[in-house]
Amino acid sequence: MKTLALRLYGKNDLRLENFDLPAPADNEILADITSNSICMSSHKAAEQGPDHKRVPSDIADNPVIVGHEFCGTILEVGAKYRGKYREGSKYSIQPALNYPGRLLDAPGYSFHYTGGQATKIIIPREVLEMNCLLPYEGEGFFKASLSEPASCIIGAFHAQYHFNQGEYVHRMGICKNGSMAIIAGAGPMGLGAIDYALHGPAQPRLLVITDIDQARLDRAAEIFAPSHAKKLGVDLRYVNTRSGNPVEDLRAVNDNNGYDDVFVLAPVAPLVEQASGILGFNGCLNFFAGPTRSDFKASINFYNVHYSGHHLVGTSGGNTDDMKEALDLMAKNVINPAVMVTHIGGIDSAAQTILELPAIPGGKKLIYTQKSMPLFAIDDLETMGKDDPFFTGLAAITAKSKGLWSTEAENYVLNHAKNIEEKGA
């Protein structure tokens, strides 16, 4: 079985290649891939090569397929799993396998025949034994590709905790009907967090979103209008903290009280300190942003830790249950991960996108692995349509959904974009 895949051979050495997959064993599954969203973790893996903690040291001779946020269709099920998985069904994979003895191994980093930037893959026994092959019952494919980043948001909400003074029992999750602030929350992951805060299983009474970019705040308000939130019982506010005294201003929004839950979505020390300054009694601060510096530090008010019960949590990814919840909510159209997507491309644009990812603005870059397309921003579709009718059609579709990607847009790409085989890649 031939596949076309983007493989990592060394530091910044990504190669799009045709090669033969082995026949799947009885404890393996053959599958195709339709979509894969690119994560900054893939850029870090490509940049570090064999020095990356999840990448094998012998990739120069035994390359791995990159990409870990993907969705496709099961083509052939090995004998051992025929009663559990069904050919023709859609799936996603939880990449954090935590496989005994190989805790860091993950699809997209560590496997020769499994990764998201491919047309076909062999799903290995490690994924199946750890129950990390997850069915997706919803429409389309791209939502399931985003179930992993969505699970990171869900995991962060579940990691929050509160307690009653004098009791030693932690109540997990955000404070229902409480006050929540999402600092630097108008970016792609922030939009996902707003979505889950409004439509997930527990809503705050007050939800405050901050940013220093008014255009981003305006875009967030266009997607999640305060009037819509009000119908759900949530007082949604957007606050630009570029000027003034952010701590005083944010407390004023909450009747001069502190907040029950505060999420920090950018690894910036003053924002952590700002979050500490607006915590209320028994408030929980979630440092969600992943810093690149191992010596990242910020000041926390320990007087309030002692006397007001302020506490701090940090999360890095979600677990399998979080990903199952994400897939279920997406399939039911309760949450819409399209708010995270800003760029679309084909598999022949994936290597350059991964290598240059920090320099490309916007949110998630969604790759259709069976297609040949340059990477393009959804916001640029109308302009691109002046020269190419393919983009004219896409622009008309995305205009119907406030400029967001959609299953209709995905189907248009799958039906009209050039297949990668046609270019002889």
- What is the per-residue pLDDT across 266-309, written as a single tens digit (0 to 9) for each? 999 999 999 999 999 999 999 998 887 889 999 999 999 999 99
**DSSP output for 16-53:** EEEEEPPPP-TT-EEEEEEEEEE-HHHHHHHHHGGGST
Q: Are 259 and 180 in contact (CB under 8 A)?
A: yes
Smallest Cα–Cα separation from 344: which of 315, 381, 314, 310? 381
**Residue of 199, 193, 317 whose CA lies nearest to 264:** 193
**What is the average pLDDT across 12-41?**
97
Percent of the chain at pLDDT exceeding 90: 95
Q: Tell which residue, 211, 202, 425, 223, has the closest CA to residue 336.
A: 223
User: Which segment of 168-172, 267-271, 354-358, 421-425 scores lowest on mean pLDDT?
Assistant: 421-425
Picking from 255, 116, 122, the residue whose alpha carbon sits closest to that of residue 179 is 255
% of the chain beyond a pLDDT of 70: 99
**pLDDT score, position 291:** 86
What structural domains and CATH numbers belong to the chain?
A: 2-145+336-416 (3.90.180.10), 152-314 (3.40.50.720)
Q: What integer pLDDT is reported at residue 317 of this predicted model?
A: 85
Mean per-residue pLDDT, 254-275: 97
